[in-house]
Amino acid sequence: MATTRREFVRNMSLASAGVLAGMASAEAGGLAGAGSLAGAPGAAGLAVGAGLAGEAGLAGEAGRSVRLGIIGVGFRGESHLALALRRPDVDVVAICDVDDQMLDRAKGILQKSGKAMPKIFTGSPYAYRDLLALKDLDGVIIATPWEWHSPMILDALAAGIKYVGTEVILGITLQEHWDVVDAAEKNQAHVMMLENVCYRRDVMAALNMVRQGLFGELLHLQGGYQHDLRGVKFNDGKPPYDKGVEFGEKAFSEARWRTNHSVHRNGDLYPTHGVGPLAMMADINRGNRFLSLSSFATKTRGLHNYIVKNGGEHHPNAAVRFRLGDIVTTHLHCANGETVLLQHDTNNPRPYSLGFRVQGTNGLWMDVANSVYVDGVSKPDEWDPAAGWFAKYDHPLWQKYSKDAEGAGHGGMDWFVLNAFVESIKRGVSTPQDVYDAATWSAISPLSEISVEGGGRPVDFPDFTRGQWMYRKNDFALGDDF
Amino acid sequence: MATTRREFVRNMSLASAGVLAGMASAEAGGLAGAGSLAGAPGAAGLAVGAGLAGEAGLAGEAGRSVRLGIIGVGFRGESHLALALRRPDVDVVAICDVDDQMLDRAKGILQKSGKAMPKIFTGSPYAYRDLLALKDLDGVIIATPWEWHSPMILDALAAGIKYVGTEVILGITLQEHWDVVDAAEKNQAHVMMLENVCYRRDVMAALNMVRQGLFGELLHLQGGYQHDLRGVKFNDGKPPYDKGVEFGEKAFSEARWRTNHSVHRNGDLYPTHGVGPLAMMADINRGNRFLSLSSFATKTRGLHNYIVKNGGEHHPNAAVRFRLGDIVTTHLHCANGETVLLQHDTNNPRPYSLGFRVQGTNGLWMDVANSVYVDGVSKPDEWDPAAGWFAKYDHPLWQKYSKDAEGAGHGGMDWFVLNAFVESIKRGVSTPQDVYDAATWSAISPLSEISVEGGGRPVDFPDFTRGQWMYRKNDFALGDDF
């Protein structure tokens, strides 16, 4: 483990830049989820609801700003940095990266903002631990390669940080997901995975329609990550993307680390953008839960084809045998009888689509067709354009904050997910998407690997809430607060 | 078994009308599939290819018409009858039904056609056996309730009929599928399931694009049967549909027999319209095969809701516990590494859609969005309207026969499937979709029931070709012949 991580670290200067660079074209970030974890009387877990035990947010220091540290200021962390600097209620007091180029970019952004220059930590892959040792941090944001998320979260919790916001993918192995849940409970701290798609405007309108009963009782949900990432998984060692067929040490950015997952793993490697919004609609961990999972993978062709086409059949990478099936489909059974279908499709040419389908006893939304059908309102057997419905059921958060979100990444949804994290800190309350959501959504990756390996056999889904899902209420984005 | 069938038969006068009446609003019928079953040297199976052993079609009697019998002249069989009567190369020499009303309608159609009145068999549920005893039949068409298909096919084969065309759903149990395959081989006779959707114009254009390599190597296919059948599964004992909440003895038409499957069975009850076209694209039974199947069912709500809404919560049928999950999703693994996803969704309000998705290494078609993407031709990351592509790649059969198909059921595709059956008889060759296709597509129902019952566990898919799939060539609709 140590060796692997050390080797990995050698390439971090570009890698940490890469995680952001590549993510600029992918979406990443966070939802906001289950606020009040009331729980059963005397139950274990996070004893939160209206703030951490013994905490009352910043209430005792009215007017003071939230003090944030940011670990990883590559292109994705840089985006969080820029949004944080736009806020009068946030002071970025520390940043950390191992890449000088990205640190220079961050300094430039900071100077332009007119805000005070934060403490800067660098020089070692573990410099972030010095950042975590600062005594005045209200929270940290982690925007580094997937492998680094859970070690950094665990270190942050051990250091006493009470609010940790991490980019999507909580951990690689199932055990890492449990470790983070255990540590959050032990330290009574909040871990929010910054799943931004829960805040996509049409997704929130659909959530609004679900809650107002337009679709009836939910039956079946679909989503996924259908995004041609070939130009992200390979490059020639320099930006921009879409050029070159290198990955690993010779590559720049995400290709430096992310592609290696396609070499070695077969499963849904990136489930959270699809499942997060659906989980909120279906009250997962809040009166409902995933019971089991089955995954199915096609053969793998796309990445090899791309290398041959762009690098020739004699390029050394043409000999690499990728394990990741080109299209991986995952099924989830829910305790309340719904089914959820996710698709991971990143290796071949295709238009971008998260492929949402939200269907109940009274109608459905089909994302790919921008169509909605509501029984009794839509003409029989005819689709309505979704736009009219979504304008009518625009979520109160978007009605209130669309101007604030203007210019923020991924159509504005990045603003909302950071806002949710910051507002939770200010009030000393649970983040709207919490550690149980993070673990549940992200654990789909290792579970799907097990199922694919077993020819699609059903795998039991762990209950990270340890039974609290029966008591927890869904208060994600109930109003126009945050 | 005998008792059950006898009880069933008591209700046949309406039921046989019903199978057709209901199917007039659903599609049903047949593809046309694998012509030459060359096979391995010395292999068992159907020793066909260019006609049955010892047969040469009607070649020896040039100019004579094909002599057809039709068992079941309810609304579906009536449609086949009307199409057959339009053809100068067909004589309908016998019809059979137990329902006087439907026989009267058939006689009216026959009189208007100016053709000779066929022999009429009626008066008993087993009157069809007298029809089968006729010595001059070139083929029979069966359009009766699902439960009657395999017994009637087996009787037809035993009677020496060499061409049997059956409406979709070959059998209920897995064993029935094997029985039909065994009997077809033993009698060296052809059983064609009249799966019409393989002849849908856009589906054939997509097949054409697949064969011309536009989508690259196939990876993932989707289809299904997404059709609100509530108004078909229930009525008030009289036509028209969409009125009343009765099924079984008090109901008319399909509600009399089809709904009972929703009471007792949980699985994909109607897979062939979705899987047939996909199987032809993926060369199933012709160089490829299904290896395993997994199915997942949602809770069941729609049919109960419909009864309560239209009949009140105190209606006796409000107490019926339906087993059929409202949405059943099925996954198939293929020997060549593709995945196939099917969805059965018939119990709730929704627009009709067979939901085709045909995706390869170079692009895809999404039926629900009427969209196509072809790498290198479509603008990057943008869907094209499917219409332009499908006009350009219109299948030769449609180019040649679209005028002949005008006015035929289901947008003309019914003409093509009957034409394929008749032309096969005339030439003494294999039907383009054969008994192995029929068994493979229809067996998805009993297999999916096993998987659903096992919580989605993978079920091995039988190889009805007994290894011949490795040798058989796909010659379905290769040109503009039939």
ipTM of the modeled complex: 0.90
Quote the CA–CA distance of A451 and A293 in Å, as a whole number: 7
Predicted pLDDT at B253: 82
Burial B261-297 (b: 16+ CB within 10 A, else e): bbeebbbbbbbbbbbbbbbbbbbbbbebbbbbbbbbb
Over the stretch B414-439, which tens digit does the pLDDT of each residue have? 999 999 999 999 999 999 999 999 99
B448 touching chain A per CB within 8 A: no
Cβ distance B219 to A348 less than 8 Å, yes or no, reads yes
In the stretch 48-87 of chain B, residues with CB closer than 8 A to chain A read: none
CB–CB of A361 and B301 under 8 A?
yes
pLDDT of residue A23: 32
| Residues A351, B228: C-beta atoms closer than 8 Å | no
Mean pLDDT of each 10-residue bin along chain A, 482 residues long: 35 34 31 34 46 52 89 93 97 95 94 96 97 97 97 98 98 98 98 98 98 98 98 88 91 91 98 98 98 98 98 98 98 98 98 98 98 98 98 98 92 96 97 98 98 98 98 96 92
Is the pLDDT at B409 greater than 70, yes or no?
A: yes
CB contact under 8 A, B350 and A331: no
Unique residue bearing structure tokens 């609801």? A49
CA-to-CA separations, A327 to A262, A349, B83, B288, B339, in angstroms, rounded: 12, 12, 42, 19, 8
What is the rounded distance in angstroms from the CA atom of residue A346 to the CA atom of residue A353? 11
Contacts of A107 (CB under 8 A, 6+ apart): A117, A120
pLDDT of residue B54: 43
Give residue B278's pLDDT band: very low, low, confident or very high (50, 70, 90): very high
- On the 0-12 / 13-18 / 19+ scale of CB atoms within 10 A, B111 is exposed
Q: What angle do CA A16, A246, A102 make, to 5 degrees?
A: 20
User: What are the tokens at A81?
Assistant: 């940095």
Comparing A5-9, B213-217, B443-447, the range with the smallest average pLDDT is: A5-9
Cα A224–chain centre separation: 13
Helices (H), B137-296: 146-158, 174-187, 201-211, 230-233, 258-264, 272-281
> Per-residue pLDDT tens for B300-348?
999 999 999 999 999 999 999 999 999 999 999 999 999 999 999 999 9
- Asked if A460 reaches chain B (Cβ–Cβ under 8 Å), the answer is no
Which residues of A306-354 form beta strands (DSSP E)? 327-334, 339-345
Q: Give Cα separations from A20 to A74, A79, A233, A365 (angstroms).
A: 4, 8, 13, 32
Q: Give percent of chain B with pLDDT exceeding 70.
A: 87
Phi, psi torsion values for A320, nearest 5 degrees: -70, 135
- pLDDT given at position B19: 35
At B38, the amino acid letter reads A
**How far apart are alpha carbons A191 and A161 in whole angstroms?**
10
Mean pLDDT within B458-464 = 98
Cβ atoms within 10 A of the Cβ of A73, count? 32
Mean pLDDT confidence for B111-139: 97
> Residue A229 and residue A225: Cα distance in Å, rounded?
10
Helix axes A413-427, A75-85, angle to 10 degrees: 60
The predicted pLDDT at position B114 comes to 94
Interatomic CA distance for residues B137 and B139, integer angstroms: 5
pLDDT of residue A62: 65
Give A 345-364 residues with CB within 8 A of chain B: 345, 348-352, 359-364
B310 Cβ under 8 Å from any chain A Cβ: no
Tell me the average pLDDT across B385-391: 98
Q: Which domains does chain B carry?
A: 199-402+434-470 (3.30.360.10)
Neighbour-count burial of B450, counting CB atoms closer than 10 A to its CB (0-12 exposed, 13-18 middle, 19+ buried): middle
pLDDT for residue A214: 98
Task: Give the DSSP H/E element, type plus range, for residue B92.
Answer: strand B90-96
Share of chain B above pLDDT 90, in %: 82
Q: Is the pLDDT of residue B22 over 50?
A: no
Contact A63, A89 (CB under 8 A): no
The pTM assigned to this predicted structure is 0.91
